[in-house]
Structure 1
């Protein structure tokens, strides 16, 4: 078995909980719409925009890769239907993006990454649109690959291989750590990486592993991950 030289991380629900972040960001955006473009806010709700995004994702694979474009097109539709100035859509997107990057890291994240960094190459591979610079942890990673800019999304092997290429390692020399059994665990293993299922207890007891998914390890936090890597 190859020596581990790198650890690649998913972001949402692996390094921070994402549901409260998105809910807060959507509420902040809707309040901004209510104050600045009430014609839009009066015609569509948060749930309505969410349903429209889901419908587009179900019918157009482009929006499964680029979540920012998905949110943008739904806002653009709402502005057009309300007859509002579509130039304000970019401002609305910026309001959402700022709030979306105000995350609360799990308490083990920064200390554990700091301890790993001298010994291992670190990268992030995400289907989301988090900005590690804005969040303040970009300096802890040697590379960051996001589906919306790369053009392929997990579980496509290409996005895992792109991160390995950026770190100048072979897939067999990397571990991928993520919370989604199919996108993260199965996707990484099919790409030739070892995979750790991150099952954070803070996210509740309802998370289960499908019977056919066999991660190389299961960890509840990055401290457990460190122990497993060093065993």
Structure 2
């Protein structure tokens, strides 16, 4: 088999997600304390998160678009506390700047650079990190989000959009991700082989068939793909 497309999850596959989100939320709250102090006095980062979660439950039609959720939630709070709605746009823009300050794991850039010689690399994420604003901006051919696809994984929309973008089918595609359900099982449901990136030694869910491959870092996956003959010098695109 010759791989022509590899779709790659972002958060907790290529970089740790929780620290960057915490940092962005703390930066946002500090900004609110200066620009919208009544709001900041009434809400800490936890209650702001709870407010967004409630909005997602009330507005399921936008729940897959995390930036839209954050913007709608912030606009509602600005109105509630008597601030101009334009402050919400500024607040979300500041959050997004910090959201993109990710620190990829050391193995990621070298491995993806090797893979990008042989096949198309497309980022597919339920989150709202903007790949072009991260240290990995040069390694992907395309970057797609659940907001663009209209649905979040495990819905197949992101995988289908990526395959349409590159013009390939499931047999020519591989997915790489850290979540057994949203990544591995979701990809398999549309006929795509999947590699599980398990950086912290979690057990595989007993109710699911095992993944095609389990790795703790991406270099091992690239070596395995070359050994299988799925990627190699004669497969360059």
TM range (shorter): over 0.9
Partner SS, residue 118 of structure 1: helix
CA contact (8 A) 2:149 2:157 kept: no
Change (3 A) 1:19 1:39: same
Establish whether residue 147 from structure 1 lines up as the match of residue 143 from structure 2: no
> Which of 215, 218, 222 is the matching residue for 1:222?
218
1:55 CA displacement: 2.3
1:209 CA displacement: 2.1
CA distance in 2, matches of 1:54, 1:209: 28
Residue ranges of structure 2 left out of the alignment (5+ in a row) = 228-237
Within 5 Å, give how 1:94-173 maps onto structure 2: 94-173=93-172
Stretch deviating more after TM superposition (51-60 or 92-101): 51-60
CA contact (8 A) 2:38 2:81 kept: yes
CA distance in 2, matches of 1:59, 1:83: 23
1:49 CA displacement: 1.0
CA distance in 1, matches of 2:103, 2:112: 15
Residue ranges of structure 1 left out of the alignment (5+ in a row) = none
TM-score normalised per structure 2: 0.91
Establish whether residue 65 from structure 1 lines up as the match of residue 64 from structure 2: yes
> Which of 196, 204, 207 is the matching residue for 1:209?
204
Partner SS, residue 107 of structure 1: coil
Residue of structure 1 in register with 2:231 after alignment: none
TM-score normalised per structure 1: 0.93
Partner SS, residue 139 of structure 1: coil
Partner SS, residue 121 of structure 2: strand
